[in-house]
């Protein structure tokens, strides 16, 4: 079904997931307004679409309420993806995370309310489940953020739903599980596993497998996530929290086999679940969405795009130990809610 073209505002449009959302919306014939402060986003991420006439770019911080509001003129759909990511920096700079992820979200909600937008989609994080009791994990599972990033993304989700409840903003919160794909972060601090492994592969260094590598993750390919966002925008569903995952869970050992290379082992990290695995029955029912990209196909695509990670930092066990010091220092305490022994 062809939908009428909408004016879409994407916060974090220069980021990993945001840039894929922008490309897809342009492809579908929509107008796109990107709002990004370029703190972690990269201009190169939109290089392929930068000259499109339906694209408008604003280097604006979501905490700059006045300039943000100006960007919202005539906007129909909002995709709110701007946020600070990663665990370690959130432990080091919790106030920055609060300001970007919570205060920033409140500003985006207020601008969306003033502009009377028709749809508001929030990129929430499955990290709110912490170490779950139930697998596959449904949206109703207990909330147990293990570090400030997870907490701020969850509190912002509560704000989003509250604006839906109180002000009738048509909101949907999508809880994303381990998103991967081209342009997943290539610089900066120690973070998501794909960037770490691909840079190691290019440098001929061994893959740093955490623990014994039997832990499993629900790796979700970015174009499937984008499809979930667009489908949610086109729907009438509102005031819902919806998991977005592949619905499968693969071990790190299996992943390194697919990537092919030497392996070295590094210590298990505190606060990490042994598994993430989304229950995706709700999104199937509400949005008739299902993932299309298998891990094999996704990995193939990453290997074809491996040059993206040519400039990325190469993490060795020593550098990781140094970069994760605070992680071990602050999170290595027993979780009173956890049913797992670590
Ligand atoms: N991982 C790994 N080596 C690394 C980084 C991560 O084996 O150098 C593993 C980690 O233990 C986890 C998975 O990869 O099981 C995904 O880690 P990531 O930090 O990407 O996401 P999260 O832990 O938040 O699910």
The reply to whether 149 belongs to the active site is yes
174: Cα within 13 Å, side-chain hemisphere: 30
pTM: 0.95
Indicate if 118 and 15 belong to the same structural domain: yes
Phi, psi for 125 (deg, rounded to 5): -120, 140
Do 24 and 94 contact (CB within 8 A), yes or no? no
146 CA → ligand 1 middle, Å:
15
Q: Is 193 in the pocket of ligand 1 (CB under 6 A)?
A: yes
Residue 286, domain member (yes or no): no
Closest protein CA for atom 21 of ligand 1: 192
Predicted confidence (pLDDT) per residue in 175-221, tens digit: 999 999 999 977 778 889 999 999 999 999 999 999 999 999 999 99
Residue 127 CA: nearest ligand 1 atom is 24
298 CA → ligand 1 middle, Å:
17
Phi, psi for 223 (deg, rounded to 5): -70, -30
Predicted confidence (pLDDT) per residue in 248-307, tens digit: 999 999 999 999 999 999 999 988 999 999 999 999 999 999 999 999 999 999 999 999
Predicted confidence (pLDDT) per residue in 26-44, tens digit: 999 999 999 999 999 999 9
Residue 160 pLDDT class (50, 70, 90 cuts)? very high
Closest protein CA for atom 15 of ligand 1: 215
Average pLDDT over residues 136-163: 98
Long-range contact pairs involving 316-322 (C-beta distance under 8 Å, separation at least 24): 316/205, 316/208, 317/208, 317/264, 317/266, 319/190, 320/190, 320/208, 320/266, 321/266
Distance CA 32, CA 7 (A): 6
Q: Is 192 in the pocket of ligand 1 (CB under 6 A)?
A: yes
Indicate if 96 and 203 belong to the same structural domain: no
Residue 140, domain member (yes or no): yes
Indicate if 92 and 80 belong to the same structural domain: yes
- Count the domains in the chain: 2
Domain ranges, residue 120: 7-179+219-244
Q: What is the percentage of the chain residues whose pLDDT exceeds 90?
A: 89
Residue 342, domain member (yes or no): no
Considering the candidates 97, 129, 149, 250, report the single residue annotated as catalytic: 149
H-only helix segments in the chain: 16-27, 65-71, 87-92, 94-97, 104-114, 148-167, 193-203, 222-234, 252-259, 281-287, 295-304, 317-323, 325-331
Q: Report pLDDT for 342.
A: 36
In whole numbers, what is the pLDDT of the chain averaged over residues?
95
Closest CA to 193 of 170, 206, 210, 168: 210
Q: What is the CATH number of the domain that holds 173?
A: 3.40.50.720
Q: Is 209 in the pocket of ligand 1 (CB under 6 A)?
A: yes
Residue 284, domain member (yes or no): no
Predicted confidence (pLDDT) per residue in 165-186, tens digit: 999 999 999 999 999 999 997 7
Query: Regarding predicted confidence, which is higher, 342 or 324?
Result: 324
């Amino acid at each position: 079904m062809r939908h009428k073209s909408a004016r879409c505002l994407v916060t974090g449009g220069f980021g990993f997931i945001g840039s894929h959302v922008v490309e897809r919306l342009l492809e579908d014939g929509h107008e796109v307004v990107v709002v990004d402060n370029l703190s972690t986003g990269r201009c190169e991420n939109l290089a392929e679409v930068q000259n499109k006439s339906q694209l408008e770019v604003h280097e604006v911080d979501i905490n700059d309420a006045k300039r943000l509001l100006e960007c919202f003129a005539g906007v129909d759909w909002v995709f709110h993806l701007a946020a600070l990511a990663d665990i370690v920096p959130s432990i080091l700079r919790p106030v920055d995370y609060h300001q970007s992820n919570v205060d920033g979200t409140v500003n985006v909600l207020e601008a969306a309310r003033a502009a009377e937008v028709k749809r508001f989609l929030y990129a929430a994080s499955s990290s709110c489940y912490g170490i779950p009791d139930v697998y596959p994990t449904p949206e109703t599972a207990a909330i147990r953020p293990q570090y400030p990033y997870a907490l701020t993304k969850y509190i912002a989700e509560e704000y989003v739903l509250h604006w839906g409840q109180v002000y009738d903003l048509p909101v949907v919160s999508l809880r994303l599980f381990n998103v991967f794909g081209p342009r997943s972060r290539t610089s900066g601090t120690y973070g998501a596993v794909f960037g770490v492994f691909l840079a190691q592969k290019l440098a001929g260094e061994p893959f740093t497998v955490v623990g014994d590598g039997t832990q499993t993750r629900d790796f979700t390919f970015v174009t499937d996530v984008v499809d979930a966002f667009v489908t949610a925008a086109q729907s009438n569903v509102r005031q819902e929290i919806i998991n977005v995952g592949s619905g499968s869970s693969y071990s790190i050992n299996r992943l390194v086999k697919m990537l092919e290379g030497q392996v070295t082992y590094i210590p298990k990290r505190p606060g990490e679940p042994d598994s993430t695995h989304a229950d995706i029955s709700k999104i199937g029912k509400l949005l008739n969405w299902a993932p299309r990209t298998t891990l094999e196909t996704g990995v193939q695509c990453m290997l074809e795009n491996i040059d993206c990670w040519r400039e990325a930092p190469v993490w060795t066990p020593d550098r990781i130990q140094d970069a994760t010091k605070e992680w071990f220092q602050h999170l290595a305490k027993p979780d009173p809610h956890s049913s797992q022994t670590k």
